Chain A
Amino acid sequence: MIKATTLSPRELKKPPITAFFGLILGLCMLLICLVYSVTLGAAEIPLGKILTSFLAFDGSYDHLVIQTVRLPRSLIAILVGSSLAVSGALMQGLTRNPLADPGILGIESGAALFVVVATFIFGSSSLNVYALAAFLGAGVIAVLVYILGSLGRGGATPLNLTVAGAALTALISSFTTGILIVSQQTLEQVRFWLAGSLSGRDFNLFLQLLPFVGIGLVVAFALGRQITTMSLGEDVAKGLGQQTAWIKIFTAISVVLLAGSSVALAGPIGFIGLVVPHIVRFYIKADYRWILPYCAVLGAILLLIADIAARVLLKPQELPVGVMTAIVGAPFFVYLAKSKVKK
């Protein structure tokens, strides 16, 4: 049903020098986007002030805005973008499912349910509570969808996983809606969060989740070679002497850490995890040792740009960034389904 990813020896030995330069170039672009993102907003802040806010912090309005609002928000965008993209790449590589993405597979709706339940029961609207609940929800649903999807005929095929994700999402969001109907107060509190947004996030939240994302990324990068082999098919991987069970477990841990922290930080933001790995694979064919770091950089860039657009398009109103990514990403999903999944 799926075109096998072919990996010729020549491609594996692709001179890492070009790949390395590409990565450096990407990091430079990321830096430019970061600076741009910090200067843009309700109050436009000149470039020079960014530097002085670090070198000579004087407590002025602009400096405060940079340090407490813009910079945390932009850094969180980077963290979320890269974790989404890397978790998407891991899922796609491991399951050989070109349509895998934390949103499609229902993880984000699971996080949303837990957040709504937590808000309903504890009445708290603190982002820290949201983060914890989202993290738990993402983990539980990730496991559930995978189990459900692999129970079907043929195991965890793209179709089975996608349908399991869609069905579970249908169930979960009807519970979420049920709670929101019963409590209008909860609705008022969480509705902006539910659409996926980066506004109002502070450094504390960033620092709390940084270790999780850090561990997730390190595990992912360390698994690069194994994922490359697994993406050729489990039988091949076993034939090459891979301990496939352990690879699956570690990949799952990494996926849950990454997808969980990103939902915890920003709410459900779809399609970054789907789109970025595919864009990266246009350039780097099959070597996950390089695909994963590229995804991290490109995912960060894309989410930063999406967030800038969400802030700028309807100024002074702000769009939820999750809506932006879905409107751009879903047509890409349609294109992928058409080109990668054969009858």
Chain B
Amino acid sequence: MSFDWLVIRSQAISFRIDRRVPIILLCLAVAIAVAMVMNVGRGEYPISPLDIVKTILGLDTGNPDHQFVIQSLRLPRTLVAFMVGMALAISGTIFQGLTRNPLADPGIIGINAGASLAAVTVIILFPSAPIYTLPLSAFAGALLMAILIYSLAWNNGSSPILLILMGVGLSAIASAITSLMITFGEINDVSNALVWLAGSVYGRTWEQVFSLLPWLIVFVPMALTLTRHLNALNLGDDVAKSLGSQVEWQRGLLVLVGVALAGAGVATAGNIGFIGLIAPHLGRQLVGGTHEGLIPTSALLGGVIVVMADLLGRTLFAPIEFPCGVVTAAIGAPYFLYLLIRNRKK
């Protein structure tokens, strides 16, 4: 077995990862670079890959427009797509590990619905509110929803199945109130709210990049350090307890990280569904189920998928632009079907 694992030991840390992980992470990094260059290059004003690389490195391409199109329009948008994908994918991996349900996803268990309700309320009731209030309110909505779900699912300890069912029930309330807003709001505000609800990185700028970045800087390392507990919890509460885990405390912490990442992602780009479902599954196929390797892998996968979804949504039916959330849903639902069937065969 020693051949299949890389064991990393130092005085402070010690962990082992699947041998495939470094190679796959490298491949994914290349894929991300390619996807990003493609996304920056395609559009109403095409730019060649070489010019993109030059512009990003600060070299002169002989065309002053490149600087503007890339630096202020397309690059921040692409970066936002990538970061949001990462956040949602990590969040999904955590929730799947916690609930031991391969079909869990922050969207399906209702956290997105809470974030959406809060943001739509702000868009429709306070249309003149400054942009930066949107992520904050969405995050507050996600957090409130998570607290409600978690406390309602408390049944002499938190129950994974109840977490999912409570999510479904509470998101029904949230979406009823959301549809109330949509029914009575001013029509242009409602249109804006819908773009946001569908999940889109349209018009995102450096402002969003820098407001999302701190969340990732804090919570991604936290997710990585909690992976060992996630592995234990994934075996079931009884096993985890007998391995010496303080189950409730660790689960609470992991839920917090999952919610923070999902909330920050939804806050920045709206309701991009199914990333938290797809990325961990693809990741598991590539590197197996140990979370040390799985979390970085699925994070990168999530990033690639959202960048590609944005590219498809922009170019497929140009000049009509579809929000990338619609694209990810169109890919995610058939994948979900496939997962259900495969689960049965096990």
Contacts and interface: CB of A to CB of B under 8 A. Distances in A.
B168 A195 contact: no
Nearest to B107: A170
B323 interface: yes
A271 B55 CA distance: 56
B273 interface: yes
A167 B338 CA distance: 13
Interface of A is mostly: helix
A152 interface: yes
Interface stretch (A121-129, A297-305, A323-331): A323-331
B346 interface: yes
Interface residues of B, number: 55
A140 to B, nearest CB: 14
Contacts of A153: 343-344, 346
A264 B320 CA distance: 31
A187 interface: yes
B194 A187 contact: yes
A152 B173 CA distance: 27
A178 B172 contact: no
B340 A151 contact: yes
Interface string A180-192: 1110100110011
Contacts of A187: 187, 190-191, 194
B333 A270 contact: no
Q: How many of chain A's residues touch chain B, expressed as a range?
A: 35 or more
Interface string A45-58: 00000000000000
Contacts of B108: 163, 166-167, 170
B173 A327 contact: yes
Given A170-B273, A330-B170, A152 B161 contact: no
Interface stretch (A27-35, A82-90, A334-342): A334-342
A117 to B, nearest CB: 14
B141 to A, nearest CB: 16
Contact of A191 (B175, B183, B322): B183
A162 interface: yes
B166 interface: yes
A74 interface: no
A164 B190 CA distance: 29
B187 A170 contact: no
A171 interface: yes
Contacts of B341: 151
Nearest to A149: B340
Contact of A320 (B161, B168, B183, B273): B183
B173 A178 contact: no
B197 interface: yes
Nearest to B113: A170
Interface in A59-100: 99
B273 to A, nearest CB: 5
Which of A174, A187, A341, A343 has most chain B Cβ within 10 Å? Answer: A174
A195 B274 CA distance: 24
B176 A270 contact: yes
B177 A323 contact: yes
Given A153-B344, A167-B103, A171-B333, A333 B172 contact: yes
A174 B199 contact: yes
Contact of B340 (A164, A175, A323): A164
Interface in B271-297: 271, 273-274, 277
Contact of A322 (B179, B195, B343, B344): B179
Nearest to A192: B183
Contacts of A270: 172, 176
Contact of A163 (B103, B177, B273): B103
Nearest to A155: B344
B25 interface: no
Contacts of B326: 174-175, 177-178
B195 A181 contact: yes
Contacts of B197: 177
Contacts of A223: none
B330 interface: yes
Interface string A224-249: 00000000000000000000000000
A152 B113 CA distance: 25
A201 B323 CA distance: 34
Contacts of B323: 177-178, 181
B343 A341 contact: no
B308 interface: no
A116 B336 CA distance: 24
A162 B104 CA distance: 12
18 contacts: A151-B337, A151-B341, A159-B165, A163-B101, A167-B277, A171-B332, A177-B198, A178-B198, A181-B194, A192-B183, A327-B176, A329-B172, A331-B169, A334-B170, A337-B165, A337-B166, A338-B155, A341-B165
Given A152-B344, A174-B330, A175-B329, 15 more contacts: A148-B340, A152-B340, A153-B346, A163-B164, A170-B273, A174-B273, A178-B198, A181-B323, A194-B182, A319-B180, A323-B179, A326-B172, A326-B176, A327-B176, A330-B173
6 closest cross-chain pairs (CB), A and B: A326-B176, A171-B333, A174-B329, A333-B169, A337-B165, A330-B173
Interface of B: 101, 103, 107-108, 152, 155, 159-162, 164-166, 168-173, 175-177, 179-180, 182-184, 187, 190-191, 194-195, 197-199, 271, 273-274, 277, 320, 322-323, 325-326, 329-330, 332-333, 336-337, 340-341, 343-344, 346
